[in-house]
Amino acid sequence: MAPGLHFTKEETESLINMFRSLGKVNPARPDKLERTQVREQLHVKFGVTDDLILDRIVRVFDTDSDNYVSQSEWLHGLSIFLRGTIEEKKQFCFKVYDLNDDGFITKEEVFNLLKNSMAKLQTEEDPDEGIKDLVDITIKKMDLDKDNKIGPDDFSSIVSVDPLYLEHFGACLPEQENVNEFLRLSAEYPPHRDRYY
């Protein structure tokens, strides 16, 4: 395994080659990928279709918030996204759902996430009312310290009891068959012997 990553040396080299191939699209910054490039890879390779979740995943990859994903951010983001431990996945998903990056998931954030991921029902009733009821139930269930918001400890504890809560607010982790296919395809990127190697 590569240090700090959940990849073999060969997988790491393949992912670096993929990064460099994608980086050639942006000659002004070949050492970094634009967020849109990472977004496109996540959409195409993993079928992430929820725009809000997709944007948040890319933002979590971009740890220095410079609107680019460096090679290191690419490798570390993919390491957690593809093969993270349960603790890493808890932190990753929590950050995805914490829409304003304040360290909590509030009722408003839960509402926006659920509204965004639920199909509108063809009924006479206001669909937002049903979502508000679901938000109240969710907060009541997940807010273990009763401060009217979900903190990292609340989230971690509830996921430890029921792992299905990991993606309760939207699918932000890939299916295993997509992981296997992505790593298989990344191995097909030819090595680049250049100044970044």
Q: What is the pLDDT of residues 116-162, one digit of tens each?
A: 776 554 455 666 788 899 999 999 999 999 999 999 999 999 999 99
What is the pTM (predicted TM-score) of this model? 0.89
> Contact, 110 vs 135, CB < 8 A?
yes
User: What DSSP assignment string belongs to 139-193?
Assistant: HHHH-TT-SSSB-HHHHHHHHHH-GGGGGTTS--S--HHHHHHHHHHHTTSPP--
Range(s) within the chain of domains with CATH label 1.10.238.10: 9-84+174-186, 86-167
N- to C-terminal Cα distance for the chain?
19
86-167, what's its fold? Answer: Recoverin; domain 1 (1.10.238)
9-84+174-186, what's its fold? Answer: Recoverin; domain 1 (1.10.238)
Is the pLDDT at 181 greater than 50, yes or no?
Answer: yes
Q: What is the pLDDT of residues 46-105, one digit of tens each?
A: 999 899 999 999 999 999 999 999 999 999 999 999 999 999 999 999 999 999 999 999
